[in-house]
Amino acid sequence: MGEVKREATRAASSKWTRWLARAGLVAKGISFGLVAALALKVAFVDRGKLEDRPGALQEIAETTLGRFLLGALAVGLGGYALWRFAQAALGRTLETGEEQGVLKRVGLVARGLFYSWLCIVCVSLVFEADEPVAGGGGGSQKEDRVTRIALEQPLGRYLVIAVGLGIIGAALFNLYRALTRKFRDELKEEQMGSEERRWYTVFGFVGHLARAVIFALAGVFLVRAAWEYDPKEAIGFDGALRKLANAEYGQVLLVCTAAGLMAYGLFCLVQARYREV
């Protein structure tokens, strides 16, 4: 078992794995940038219509160049998922060697699964560009269905509440990282110029705040759906943006949140260049 673990560590720390991790950070940044761009489009052009990330990817797949870019994006998203799975399996961060607790490892697996799903979405769009994507353009219906199935299970209500509280926990974690600037610990700041450090800090702070808002909305409405036994109250990433768009001063809130998500996308691109992986 010791030899197997050493081989796994060597593979996870290899040059190719590190390149895949950096490609994954680029892909992650692009995916957030896509949502931000479409949210801005909704705010100023198509009021009342909002795509989630799969919907954004489907729009790109309408051209040959777009499908080529989606193929590259799929490689990056797969690399990011692999990086997170490797961290979860080894029980420590690959960049610093810091030991990971059980909750952090569960969170890493969850992130790996989510970005694996996005990778599959990209691949399916490359080969079936004219087919509708599962989850694309129908995010709210998907969350309704999944929540309804969960609520019908024994102790399902409490399971959904636990998931909602976990999402709220992710919101608080993003808020903590924003306020404490902990995201700066992961970068090789000594290789950055003063202007790069300043803008990176701005992108990280604003981006994490935007993620905190979106996760908090999604978590609160999921807990509410379980408490009231109403699956229609459950919302996902796109649903949280819709809530902002439909609120008082919704256009202003949506623009601010879109700017925050764009900042987080840029933050991920800086990470791809300077993060320890």
Residues in a beta bridge with 92: 99
pLDDT at position 180: 92
pLDDT at position 262: 92
Q: Which of 247, 242, 256 is closest to 49 using CA atoms?
A: 242
Q: Which of 199, 187, 151, 211 is closest to 276 using CA atoms?
A: 187
Query: Could you give the dihedral angle defined by the CA atoms of residues 206, 20, 53 and 36, in that order, rounded to the nearest 10 degrees?
Result: 30
Q: Which of 171, 167, 170 is closest to 236 using CA atoms?
A: 167
Residue whose structure tokens are 């808002």:
213
Q: Which of 265, 264, 253 is closest to 217 using CA atoms?
A: 253
pLDDT at position 150: 63
pLDDT at position 139: 47
Beta-carbon contacts of 259 under 8 Å, excluding residues fewer than 6 positions away, are: 36, 206, 210
Amino acid at 99: E
CA angle 118, 122, 124 (to 5 degrees): 115
Alpha-carbon distances, residue 214 vs 56, 66, 163, 235 (angstroms): 17, 28, 15, 10
Give the pLDDT confidence of 197-245 residue by residue, as tens digits: 888 899 999 999 988 988 888 888 888 877 777 666 666 666 666 677 6
pTM of the predicted model as reported, rounded to 2 decimal places: 0.72
CB 83 within 8 A of CB 186: no
CB 27 within 8 A of CB 83: no
Written as six digits, the tokens of 41 are 């489009």
Q: What secondary structure does DSSP assign to 71-139, as a single string? A: HHHHHHHHHHHHHHHHHHHHTB-TTT--B--HHHHHHHHHHHHHHHHHHHHHHHHHH-TTSPPTTTT-H
CA distance 13 to 227: 44
Residue stretches of the chain with pLDDT short of 70: 1-14, 16-17, 42, 45-59, 92-98, 129-155, 230-242, 245, 276-277
CB 156 within 8 A of CB 150: yes
Kind plus residue range of the DSSP H or E element containing 145: helix 139-151
Torsion angles phi and psi, residue 188, rounded to 5? -85, 75
CA distance 36 to 84: 24
pLDDT at position 205: 94
CB 255 within 8 A of CB 50: no
